[in-house]
Structure 1
Amino acid sequence: MTELPKIKYEILADADALSKQVADWLLDIASGTSGTVAICLSGGNTPRRLYERLAAAPYRDRFPWSRTHVFWGDERFVPRDDPLSNYRMANNALLSRVPIPAANIHPIPTEGLTPEEAARRYEQELKSFYEATRGETMRRLFNATLLGLGEDGHLASLFPGTDALQERERWVVAVLGVKAETRITLTYPALENSSNTAFLVAGEGKNKVLDRFRRHDETLPAVRFKPLGELRVVADESAAGARDLHERTQN
């Protein structure tokens, strides 16, 4: 039987409390890291409130933006100004509002090349960054990784039943024919190479999948995720479905 990772569950009252908890967590990680800080961002609706909070005081002024690099776990293969773009959402909510150097922002390329070329190019960018920073105290690709939990149990754009779930060599692949838009996604090897990882789960619509995740239903791609560092699930009460559960640790 596969050894299960130790997971810390944090249940917050609502989405606003969730965003504050994760903002504090990210600030603690960044402030406690000497040298480069690498963060892998998530798309979707849940992290938007977090990004807006990080762009406001006191986080905007206290976060070490000058030495922070941001990457994305996945992206829709659309132009950067498209409303569906994960980059566009993060840029509007956070990156354009904080003093992070432009060179420290690493969006997934989506224009002027094929999806397969985009995946190869982003993988090379990740590997070049990793090699350049391995001599620092950062021992993983990412210091912190943010992930969502889809209602079908997907994370990033690793969807149930897709070939990308079996990929253990490439760090980035194109996912075609699953959603209306082609996706570019990091694979398990890259996503798992993180010192700290958090699933952000909000809303009543996530109640059923979060219950399956807690029961370690290995048909869910998120359950097959085995990070090298610490893993936590930060959820609001609507998603957790348990108003008297404030914190839970599970092996």
Structure 2
Amino acid sequence: MTTDMRYAVVDVLKDADAVAMKMAELLIETVRNKRDGKARIALSGGSTPKKLFSILARPEVAQQIDWSRVEIFYGDERHVPEGHEDSNHTSAKTLLLSKVAIPAAQIHPMPTKGTAQADAAQYQTVLEHAYGRKTLEAGHPLFDIVMLGLGTDGHTASLFPGEAVLQEKTAWVGVSAPKTAPHERLTLTYPAIASSKLVVFLVTGENKVPMLARLRQGDGSIPSGCIVSEGEILILADSAAAGEPS
């Protein structure tokens, strides 16, 4: 059964710290409950994930996860040199991955050394290897969890309004060159995100009130409103983003 945004579960929490903590609990639970193989997690960028990474790096939290059973991927990445301050992988590596006992071979940053198109194709090969298939199959999700954010323009990952990648039906990784944000980007496509057990939106801040309302309605005119999952969709929002008193 496919879940679309109209049927997403919404959990409104006090603030961004509470959203990050709830996401940490979900990740811990997912790894613990994974029966076979590694838990494949697609990380997102943004301020709330940075809070999440800092929480997961705390020794008392990190020890609750068997990192040998975790495989890290990314929902999107700015096409910038390795180590660049705008890189999602740089943030995750600095705040979390360099501080926990996850094998280096189980961390899969999006490549940025070639052309964006060539790097997208290369990352698709990485995903195919992890998945063990070249074609996405219902009942065999590519990801256990895909983390997503929500832009004030309705974008998610690097699926920006007006970009050709929104029309991609087969490739798992595409290229986006938004006019409203810096850098060319690599991004998971709708089909790749849909091949998930759980999609989690992390939405914080009062500037997200109008767009979160549209997201919850499944507004197909915004990229985030078109997200589906073969599993479940969860929105973790703070009270500010939900337009509720804290």
Q: TM-score normalised to the size of structure 2?
A: 0.92
Deviation at 1:176, TM superposition (A): 2.5
How do residues 142-161 of structure 1 correspond to structure 2 at under 5 angstroms? Answer: 142-161=143-162
Q: What RMSD in Å do the two structures reach over aligned CA positions?
A: 1.8
1:214 aligned to which of 196, 213, 216: 216
Q: What is the letter of the counterpart of residue 71 of structure 1? A: F
2:47 aligned to which of 45, 61, 75: 45
SS at match of 2:140: coil
Q: Which moved more, 1:173-182 or 1:39-48?
A: 173-182
Distance in 2 between residues matched to 1:143 and 1:177, nearest whole Å: 28
> How many residues get paired?
238
Structure 2 stretches of 5 or more lacking a match?
Answer: none
Which aligned segments of 4 or more residues in structure 1 are displaced greater than 6 angstroms? none
Distance in 2 between residues matched to 1:177 and 1:213, nearest whole Å: 20
SS at match of 2:228: coil
Distance in 1 between residues matched to 2:197 and 2:86, nearest whole Å: 29
Deviation at 1:51, TM superposition (A): 0.9
Residue 128 to residue 234, structure 1, CA distance change in 2 (3 Å): same
Q: TM-score normalised to the size of structure 1?
A: 0.90
Q: Which moved more, 1:203-212 or 1:173-182?
A: 173-182
Q: What residue in structure 2 maps to residue 249 of structure 1?
A: none
How do residues 1-251 of structure 1 correspond to structure 2 at under 5 angstroms? Answer: 5-34=6-35, 35-111=37-113, 113-131=114-132, 139-176=140-177, 178=179, 179-243=181-245
Distance in 2 between residues matched to 1:177 and 1:60, nearest whole Å: 36
Identical aligned residues as a percent = 40
- For the 8 Å contact 1:5–1:226, the answer to whether it is kept is no
Distance in 1 between residues matched to 2:201 and 2:194, nearest whole Å: 13
Distance in 2 between residues matched to 1:119 and 1:14, nearest whole Å: 35
Distance in 2 between residues matched to 1:30 and 1:220, nearest whole Å: 32
Deviation at 1:59, TM superposition (A): 2.1
Deviation at 1:44, TM superposition (A): 1.6
- 1:134-162 deviations in Å (ceiling 9; x for gaps): 9xxx9311111100011111110001111
